[in-house]
Structure 1
Amino acid sequence: MNQHLLRAALDAAERGWPVIPLWPGRKIPNLHGERACHRTGDCRTGHKTFEQRATTDPARIERCWAAGPFNVGIATGPAGLLVVDLDRCKPTDEKGTPDGAANFLALCERAGQPVPTTRTIRTASGGTHLYFTAPPGVRLTNSAGTLAPRVDTRAWGGQVVAPGSVTPGGSYTVLGDAPVADLPEWLQSALTPSQGPVAGPFRVPPVRDASRCAAVALERESAAVAARRDVGARNTELLRAVIRVGRYVARGDIGRATVEEAFQAAGESAGLTAVECRATIRSALAYSKRTVRPRQEAS
């Protein structure tokens, strides 16, 4: 196992991708954090982050992996990579909920582009990692659901598990060993924070046929979504807000169409695309319908 994982680490390093050890059988870096730093070794002049300690030095890699069967992490930022992570649906998700691959395909179709051909890794959970070369002079960071639900990215500040690594859920394997493609311009644009509002001022659509409590909740939560401009958080804010209001939909206190209309407008006002909003709203309302107890049981 040590030799197998050592080879995986050296293979990544030979591609110019700095690596770090991960806990055996896990995806977590086996490196100390700042609070536990003793300011010795690499950190003698100050704590070094995992990106600063990632290495392509074969001698250091051999010494490290001789100490244990560590999984292999690739520091995506220093490697000059942006990796798109397409997650599978969870068993608890509503039947028919699109997974990351389906949502990414929809994004490509909306952009009028084919699914890019690039190095592709199958993750232990059955998802996929798509490797891209990050554009020069642009410092992209991690994202979670910014492009679409179950579509995350890893760049500066992140790491991915390299093929050859093994977890209790399975192994990471190469699905397609095509050359690493340049990040498509349309994907770069989607991941680049906008410089200002992309839509006019948000106004809550008229709320009818709703309880007072539900109407107030919808106004408050949709306004919060519209005000969230940072790329890394606006989709998450939309998801959480719809779930909060979704309980009123599930209990019949407000119409589903009214909620969908308000959050669609709020999400687009925050800079999300129409398809992102629709997918997130649908997923959140499905979760609420599945988890909220009927009114007679809620008291």
Structure 2
Amino acid sequence: MNAALLNAALDAAERGWPVIPLRVGGKPPALHGEASCARTGPCVAGHQTWEQQATTDPDRIKVAWAVRPFNVGIATGPAGLLVVDLDTLKPKDEKGTPDGAESFLALCERAGQPVPITRRIRTASGGQHLYFHAPDGVRLGSTAGTLAPKIDTRAWGGQVVAPGSITPAGPYTVLCDPPVAKLPEWLQTDLTAPRKLPTAPFRPAPVRNATRCAAVALEREAAAVAARTAIGSRNRELLDSVIRIGRFVAWRDIDRAEVEAAFQAAGETAGLTAAECRTTITSALNYSLRTARPRETA
């Protein structure tokens, strides 16, 4: 195991990607924190974070992995990478809710772009890591749920587990390994677009083509989305609310366009970007249309 993990670390380093040891069988960095720093070795002039200690030096790597079979972490910021993490559904998630791969596909469709061809890694949980070269002159940070639910990104301040590493959930393996693509401009725009802050109370537009029940439900759910301004919960609120209204679209009680317009306005009022709203709304409505039960059994 040591030899295989050492080779995984050296392979990443040969690609120019600084690596760090991760806990044996785990994902957190195995390096010490500032509170326990003895100010020796690389920290003699001051504590060095794991991101600062990440290295491509094969001699340092061989010394570290001779100690024990550490998993391998790639420090994405120093590596000049942005990795898109497409997560799978968790047991607590509603069955059939779009996962990261489905949400990313919707994101590409909304942008009118094909799914990028780049290095893909299968994670231990069955998700995927998509590797991109970060743009020159732009320092992108890591994000959680900014693009869409179940989609995180790892750049500065983040790391990804390299293929060859093994956790109790399973191994990290290479799905395909073409040259790493540049981060698409449309994806960079979605990540860096300024968040719109609400400037006035949300006023939903009148719903014209809907039953009374559907119109009232849409107004209530859109208002709930607009009021959820806390970062980290806005996208989840939008996803859940659209799914709840989606059944009315499936039953033809309300036009899909009316629902999309109402939730687009509500999501942007809450501070989400236009692209975030479009992606989440599309994924949620597509899910609802696939899974809605007949009216008589609902």
Residue in 2 aligned with 1:122?
122
What per-residue deviation string (whole Å, max 9, x for no partner) do you get for residues 68-126 of structure 1?
Answer: 00000000000000000111112332222111111101111111111000011011111
TM-score (norm 1): 0.77
SS in 2 for 1:48: coil
Q: CA RMSD in A?
A: 3.8
Q: Does 2:174 align with 1:174?
A: yes
Q: Which runs of 5+ in 2 are unaligned?
A: 207-211, 214-218, 244-253, 289-298
Compared CA separation, residues 217 and 128, structure 1 to 2 (3 A): closer
CA distance in 2, matches of 1:279, 1:150: 14
Q: Give yes or no for contact 1:77–1:155 (8 Å, CA) kept in 2.
A: yes
| Counterpart in the other structure of 2:149 | 149
Distance 1:101 1:242 in 2: 15
> Could you tell me which residue of structure 2 aligns to residue 65 of structure 1?
65
Assess if the C-alpha contact under 8 Å between 2:98 and 2:283 holds in 1: no
Matched, 1:271 2:281: no
Map Cα deviations across residues 181-221 of structure 1 (whole Å, 9 max, x no partner).
Answer: 00000000000041755x87452439999xxxxx99986x6
Question: Retained in 1: the 8 A contact 2:85–2:130?
Answer: yes
Structure 1 residues 177, 260: CA separation in 2 closer, same or farther (over 3 Å shift)?
closer
What secondary structure does 1:13 align onto? helix
CA deviations 1:24-66 (Å, max 9, x no partner) are 1101100111222222221122211111000000000000000
Question: Aligned letter for 2:149?
Answer: P
Take 2:8 and 2:172, find their aligned partners in 1: how far apart are those partners? Answer: 11
**Contact 1:238/1:280 (CA < 8 Å) preserved in 2?**
no
- Residue by residue, what CA displacement relative to the aligned partner does 1:204-239 show, whole Å, maximum 9, x if unpaired? 439999xxxxx99986x65553x56xxxx35x3342
Answer yes or no: is the 8 Å Cα contact 1:204–1:262 preserved in 2.
no
**Which region of structure 1 is more displaced relative to structure 2, 47-56 or 259-268?**
259-268
Residues 39 and 46 in structure 1, CA contact (< 8 A), matched pair in contact too: yes
SS class of match (1:10): helix
Q: 2:203 & 2:32 partners in 1: Cα distance?
A: 48
What pairs with 1:176-191 in structure 2 (closer than 5 Å)? Answer: 176-191=176-191
Q: CA deviation at 1:162?
A: 0.2
Q: Which moved more, 1:177-186 or 1:89-98?
A: 89-98
> C-alpha distance in 1, partners of 2:52/2:39?
14
Letter of the 1:237 partner, please give it. R
1:203 is matched with which residue? 202
Specify whether residues 144 and 182 from structure 1 end up closer, same or farther in structure 2 by C-alpha distance, changes over 3 A only: same
Q: Give the 3 Å change call, closer, same or farther, for CA 242–277 of structure 1 in structure 2.
A: closer
- Alignment match, 1:97: 97
- 8 A contact 2:18–2:74 mirrored in 1: yes
Partner-residue secondary structure (3-state), 2:35: coil
Taking the aligned partners of 2:115 and 2:238, their CA distance within structure 1 comes to 31
Partner of 1:239: 236
Q: Secondary structure at the match of 1:35?
A: helix
Structure 1 contact 77–156 (Cα < 8 Å) conserved: yes
Query: 2:36 is paired with a residue of what secondary structure?
Result: coil
Please name the residue that 2:107 is paired with: 107
Matches of 1:241 and 1:96, distance apart in 2: 16
- Which runs of 5 or more residues in structure 1 are unaligned? 210-214, 247-256, 286-299
Native 8 Å contact 2:102 2:283 kept in 1 = no
Give percent identity, aligned residues only. Answer: 62
* 2: CA distance, partners of 1:69 / 1:27: 13
Number of aligned residue pairs: give it: 272
The answer to whether the 8 A contact 1:166-1:172 is kept is yes
Distance 1:26 1:67, change over 3 A: same
